[in-house]
Amino acid sequence: MQKGSVLVTGGAGYIGSHAVLALLDAGWPVVVVDNLVTGFAWAVDPRATLIQANIEDDAAVRAAMRAHDVCAVMHFAGSVVVPESVSDPLKYYRNNTVASRALIESAVACGVSHFIFSSTAATYGIPDQVPVSEDSPTRPINPYGMSKLMTEAMLKDVAAAHPMNFCALRYFNVAGADPLGRSGQSTAGATHLIKVAVEAATGKRDHVGIFGTDFATPDGTGVRDYIHVSDLAAAHVHALDLLIARPGDSHIMNAGYGRGYSVNDVLDAVDRVTNRTIDRRYQGRRAGDPDALVADNSAILATLPWRPQLDDLDTIVGHALAWERKLAEQAEPQRQS
């Protein structure tokens, strides 16, 4: 029996908007709290209620929790650009750690029972072993990873002290777009590989830089575990069901497919899907990139009934490309006007 509704912070953003779709499709009432700084009101499905507010705005958040009888929070809001976290660390400790503290306090004050948190593989830093499991040391190498790890720590302590359980999902490389074309990654100035590559495929960029060819990987380029955003969103709905079924248990789990692709593998997939050849330019390494980052996903597979449905690189790239084309079509009339 479902009780109450789910409050989704950052529901107007990339991953949050896909979680909103998954929750609505599963029959949950959804209220989104988003300040629309990086998100878009149009990205929120109209079946959800959108409240434009900061998550540290206790009055607005608590009013929403009470008015909508919120039983669970899914917390996606935050800052996500790793290099920016290095140049402006206090922004990350404010927007991710301090803002999360306020949100968690509101959740406790309003008797919210369940909390699902967007964590990251960046909490591991440079792992000793790949695939990396949840009990590996957490040694973030940037403030972004640390800001998320600090929120995990708060949730552990709060779950021990208050009647609330939590699930932190440590995302690997999230990519792709809703298979039905209802949402996708819309952020301007994106730096993530698949987004950059599909921008090149649609003519928004003239090439893709490959950051480093001397990594300890089969082809020398960085290896990552790319997970389709809709599979990731589905994992959140399963995590919510589990938190409700077992209120005494909390979880920290990797969210990835458990296999890696190199930068060249990804660009090969883009070439295959578009039937074109993207201009690849070999460049030096970016600071702080690990050679390979691949999830040991045995915990999530053993804990949730979640089974990936879209675990195919060409499918991920195809959906990202379809969304990019949609964005390009929407931008066209504006450019002409």
Which residues are designated catalytic?
Answer: 144
192 near ligand UFG, judged by CB under 6 A: yes
Site for ligand UFG in 99-138 (CB under 6 A): 120-122
* Count of residues of this chain found to bind ligand UFG when the rule CB under 6 A is applied: 21
Structure tokens at 141: 């190498």
210 near ligand UFG, judged by CB under 6 A: yes
289 near ligand UFG, judged by CB under 6 A: yes
Between CA 318 and CA 325, with CA 321 as vertex, the angle to 5 degrees is 140
Choosing from 80, 158, 164, 313, the residue that interacts with ligand UFG (CB under 6 A) is 80
Measured in whole angstroms, how far is the alpha carbon of residue 38 from the centre of its chain?
A: 14
Q: What is d(CA 136, CA 130) in angstroms, rounded to the nearest whole number? A: 10
Site for ligand UFG in 133-162 (CB under 6 A): 144
Q: What is d(CA 52, CA 59) in angstroms, rounded to the nearest whole number? A: 13
Structure tokens at 43: 């990205």
Whether the CB-CB separation of 232 and 171 falls below 8 Å is answered with yes
Between CA 161 and CA 92, with CA 255 as vertex, the angle to 5 degrees is 65
Taking residues 169 to 188 in sequence order and writing x for each that binds ligand UFG by CB under 6 A, - otherwise, the string is ----x---------------
207 near ligand UFG, judged by CB under 6 A: no
Nearer to ligand UFG, 191 or 330 (CB): 191
Q: What is d(CA 83, CA 122) in angstroms, rounded to the nearest whole number? A: 12
Whether the CB-CB separation of 277 and 206 falls below 8 Å is answered with no
**Amino acid letter, residue 149:** L
With a CB cutoff of 8 Å and minimum separation 6, the contacts of 299 are: 133, 134, 251, 253, 254
243 near ligand UFG, judged by CB under 6 A: no
Q: What is d(CA 249, CA 110) in angstroms, rounded to the nearest whole number? A: 20
229 near ligand UFG, judged by CB under 6 A: no
Choosing from 211, 244, 274, 298, the residue that interacts with ligand UFG (CB under 6 A) is 211
* Residue nearest to ligand UFG as judged by C-beta position: 222
Nearer to ligand UFG, 8 or 210 (CB): 210
Choosing from 51, 74, 77, 293, the residue that interacts with ligand UFG (CB under 6 A) is 293
Q: What is d(CA 276, CA 126) in angstroms, rounded to the nearest whole number? A: 34
Min separation Cβ 136 and ligand UFG, Å: 13
Choosing from 47, 66, 286, 307, the residue that interacts with ligand UFG (CB under 6 A) is 286
Residues near ligand UFG (CB under 6 A) are: 80, 82, 120-122, 144, 173, 191-193, 196, 208-211, 222, 224, 263, 286, 289, 293
